[in-house]
Each structure stands twice: as C-alpha cells, then as structure tokens.
Amino acid sequence: MQPNVTPGRLFALDLARTAALAGMVAYHFTYDLALFGLIAPETPVTGGWLIFARSIATSFLFLVGVGLWLAHRRGVQWSKVWRRLLIVGGAAAAITLAAWATVALPVFDRPALLWVGLGTVRPFTVDYVPVFPWFGALLAGIAAAGLADRAGLWTWLARRRGGPVLRTLSWPGRYSLAIYLIHQPVLIGLIWAYLQISR
C-alpha cells in the first residue's frame, strides 16, 4: 500500500463520531429533562454540563476538520463540497424554521447575520455555535489531520477494521447528520410519553 492512502471509510473516524453523538444525546437528554421541569432548569447551562456541551461542539467541529482534510487533501473536490453544503445548509435552514465572541457590533444582531457570532446579543438556543471563534476547532482538525497524514496514521488506521462490536458501534458515526436531526424529536417524544403515562 502506498503511503498516505486511505481507501474507503475509516471505521475509527466513524467511531469517534459515534462517541461525539453519544455525548450530544446525553447532553440533550439532560436539557430536555430541564425543559420539562424534571430537573433544575439551570442544570444543563451551568457548571460541568456547560463545559460538557462546549466539549461536544468542539469535538464535532474538530472531526469536521479531519474529514475535510481526508476528503480534499489531494485537491478540493468541488462537487462534494457543494453537495455537502446543500445538505448541511438545508438542514440548518430547516432547524432554524422549526424552532458572540471576540468582537461585538450591533450590525451583526440582524437575524441573517447571527451565524457569524459577532453580534451583541446571543440567540436563545442551546446549540448556537457561531463561526467565530468556533472555526478555530475546525482549523485545528484540519491541521491535526495533516500532521497525522504525514506520520502515516491514516494508512495505519485504514488497515484496522476492528471487530464486529467496534464496527457496530461505528455505524451511527456514518449517519451523524441524520441522527443530529432526529434525536431531539425522539427524546422529547419519549419524555412527553413518559409524563403522560406516569400521571
């Protein structure tokens, strides 16, 4: 096998995404419990839970950076970029309809510019992660993936298939966007059903 070649998907990367998804689901479950008044309302937005939430967001963005490096290190494949941008952008628009950082300027308080993260008002949403300063986590993922590529880590990982248990655990990581979109309605529905039954 040639150096710096990564055939197919890396189950280890999918496994890392699964771990990030598990953390996200655990955090959102806690958030939903607070939303329904089953635990103190400040629980998910203070102390260790707040640090946990920021860690999860950082891990997802870091893994996006790693994935970008692996997908485009031999040159940007624009068809993939535009396709992914349409999928993620469409999902973001759907979430926005359904439902700051180093510089603060009132001009960025406009709804169309909230994604930048440079406004004076923070939107009331638990999953708000603006471009600045969070873009740094994505850049760190790209840089780390490049260093790992030079060290031959991706080639080494490509040869590791893992056992059936690890491969099964990596499965959710292949569908992280879909799980992100559906997990909250499922969690909220389960908690609501529990409250109806337990009355």
What percent of the chain stands above pLDDT 70? 79
Short-list 102, 127, 129, CA closest to 115: 129
Contact indicator for 102, 133 with CB cutoff of 8 Å: yes
* pLDDT tens digits, 57-76: 999 999 999 998 888 888 77
Give the pLDDT confidence score for residue 7 in this predicted structure: 47
Write down the pTM of the prediction. 0.76
The average confidence (pLDDT) of the chain is: 83
* pLDDT tens digits, 98-116: 563 445 567 667 777 766 6
Give CA separation, 160 vs 12, 13, 59, 166, 167, in Å.
8, 11, 22, 11, 11
